């Protein structure tokens, strides 16, 4: 397994990191992790050499950290690095910071975290973290040896990223980076801001919540013509992993097929060539033309007070848009069938445009606007 070493990190980290936020489930409930299947995947990953595991307080409705603790504690502590995160938006006092941190150590069954992040430091959340002196607390934990490396994750503009990087000293940072967002969501500027400051980069959403592993038929055709053997996801992983300054690329894997494919990509790793980058540029243009909603299924927008299952509605809609590119006559039937799998209360029609979800969506999606559009599609207008 390909590894990266940075002086400031002081340990070789595998280029593939296991994101524990899209584990296999036993039902449609995100908290209902299929622990047996997920544990097998963790074992397979460790056997293949993967040594970076990324969880968070909020993943899988709060169950991911306990799962990480159960699955990883069956392995030698030196075989894996564990990363988790402080959810500043849930804090109501300085005491909450200490309470959550202690609980995380307990749930993860560890004495220390190899990597610890302040989770998603976008505008308001950063202010909250400052208010409750989260950084100062975590620095103390680093001095006590409970945290080995301290960083942050962010879904925001380069301006906010700069403010955060200048405010404190960081060992690493985690940003969303993939070939679809490179220009449009300003990933390039975020990446360059960190790279020029020698802050090791952990990449999240390299496959954009799975979207770049399925693509639209026109985009898929471009990639398959360039390399018939390579999976679509392998293109996306290689794009992120080929950039200098990247320490590891996180993939939230949901089954063994994805895991095996990712292991293969990062074991027999080849840096992307210039011509391959051009191929990806063309595929991105073709994919954007499908009109899919850029939702990554992160579920940060949930729960909607009106009951709308926002990520599932978008997943069904995106499937429709992709099918519409090749079979416009069949697409509405497929949409109808899939849409009916949602309970009536979970459908787009229930959106009352309260706007509560907007501030939570790291992708900046106009959720109520898109819900209105999808409700009209469902109504056959």
List interacting residues with ligand SF4 (CB under 6 A).
Answer: 295-301, 304-306, 308, 310-311, 314, 351-357, 360-361, 363, 365, 367-368, 371
For ligand SF4, the closer CB: 23 or 304:
304
Q: In whole angstroms, what is the distance from residue 336 CA to residue 320 CA? A: 9
Beta carbons of 61 and 27 less than 8 angstroms apart: no
Report, in Å, the least distance between residue 89 CB and ligand SF4: 13
Report, in Å, the least distance between residue 298 CB and ligand SF4: 4
For ligand SF4, the closer CB: 253 or 308:
308
For ligand SF4, the closer CB: 141 or 370:
370
Cβ count near 106 (within 10 Å): 12
Q: What b-and-e string marks burial along 262-299, b requiring 16 or more CB atoms within 10 Å of the CB?
A: bbebbeebeebeeebeebbeebbebbeebebbbbbbbb
Beta carbons of 253 and 41 less than 8 angstroms apart: yes
For ligand SF4, the closer CB: 60 or 299:
299
> CB-based contacts of 97: which residues, under 8 Å, 6+ apart?
86, 91, 132, 133, 134, 137
For ligand SF4, the closer CB: 64 or 296:
296
Cα atoms in the Cβ-side hemisphere of radius 13 Å centred on 258: 25
Report, in Å, the least distance between residue 117 CB and ligand SF4: 18
For ligand SF4, the closer CB: 119 or 238:
119
Report, in Å, the least distance between residue 54 CB and ligand SF4: 17
Q: Which long-range contacts (CB under 8 A, 24 or more apart) does 130-138 make?
A: 130/167, 132/88, 132/91, 132/93, 132/94, 132/96, 132/97, 133/94, 133/97, 134/86, 134/88, 134/91, 134/97, 135/167, 135/168, 137/94, 137/97, 137/98, 137/101, 138/86, 138/101
Report, in Å, the least distance between residue 102 CB and ligand SF4: 28
Residue 25 DSSP class: B
CA torsion 88-93-97-98 (nearest 10°) is: 180
* Cα torsion angle, 90, 94, 96, 101, sign: positive
For ligand SF4, the closer CB: 238 or 299:
299
Report, in Å, the least distance between residue 294 CB and ligand SF4: 7
For ligand SF4, the closer CB: 151 or 368:
368
Report, in Å, the least distance between residue 179 CB and ligand SF4: 18
Report, in Å, the least distance between residue 297 CB and ligand SF4: 5
Report, in Å, the least distance between residue 64 CB and ligand SF4: 16
Q: In whole angstroms, what is the distance from residue 366 CA to residue 357 CA? A: 9
For ligand SF4, the closer CB: 236 or 371:
371
């Amino acid at each position: 397994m390909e590894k990266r070493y940075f002086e400031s990190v002081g340990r070789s980290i595998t280029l593939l990191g296991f994101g524990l936020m899209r584990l296999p489930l036993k039902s449609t409930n995100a908290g209902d992790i299929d622990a047996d299947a997920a544990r097998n995947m963790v074992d397979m990953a460790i056997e293949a050499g993967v040594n970076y595991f990324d969880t968070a307080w909020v993943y899988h409705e709060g169950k991911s950290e306990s799962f990480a603790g159960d699955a990883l504690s069956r392995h030698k502590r030196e075989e894996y690095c564990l990363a988790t995160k402080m959810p500043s938006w849930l804090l109501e006092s300085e005491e909450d910071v200490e309470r959550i941190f202690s609980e995380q150590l307990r749930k993860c069954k560890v004495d220390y975290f190899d990597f610890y992040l302040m989770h998603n430091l976008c505008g308001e959340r950063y202010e909250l973290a400052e208010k409750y002196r989260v950084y100062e607390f975590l620095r103390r934990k680093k001095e006590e040896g409970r945290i080995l490396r301290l960083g942050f994750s962010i879904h925001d503009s380069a301006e906010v990223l700069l403010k955060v990087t200048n405010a404190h000293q960081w060992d690493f940072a985690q940003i969303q980076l993939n070939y679809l967002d490179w220009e449009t969501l300003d990933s390039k500027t975020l990446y360059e801001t960190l790279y020029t400051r020698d802050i090791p980069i952990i990449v999240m959403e390299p496959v954009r919540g799975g979207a770049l592993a399925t693509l639209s038929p026109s985009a898929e055709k471009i990639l398959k013509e360039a390399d018939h053997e390579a999976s679509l996801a392998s293109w996306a992983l290689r794009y992120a992993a080929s950039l200098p300054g990247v320490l590891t690329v996180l993939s939230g894997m949901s089954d063994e097929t994805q895991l095996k494919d990712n292991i293969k990509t990062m074991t027999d790793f080849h840096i992307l060539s210039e011509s391959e980058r051009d191929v990806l540029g063309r595929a991105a243009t073709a994919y954007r033309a499908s009109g899919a909603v850029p939702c990554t299924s992160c579920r940060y927008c949930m729960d909607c007070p009106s009951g709308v299952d926002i990520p599932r509605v978008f997943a069904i809609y995106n499937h429709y848009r992709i099918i519409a590119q090749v079979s416009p006559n069949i697409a509405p039937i497929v949409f109808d069938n899939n849409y009916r799998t949602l309970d009536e209360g979970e459908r787009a029609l229930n959106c009352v445009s309260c706007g509560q979800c907007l501030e939570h969506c790291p992708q900046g999606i106009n959720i109520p606007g898109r819900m209105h559009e999808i409700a009209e599609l469902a109504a056959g207008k």
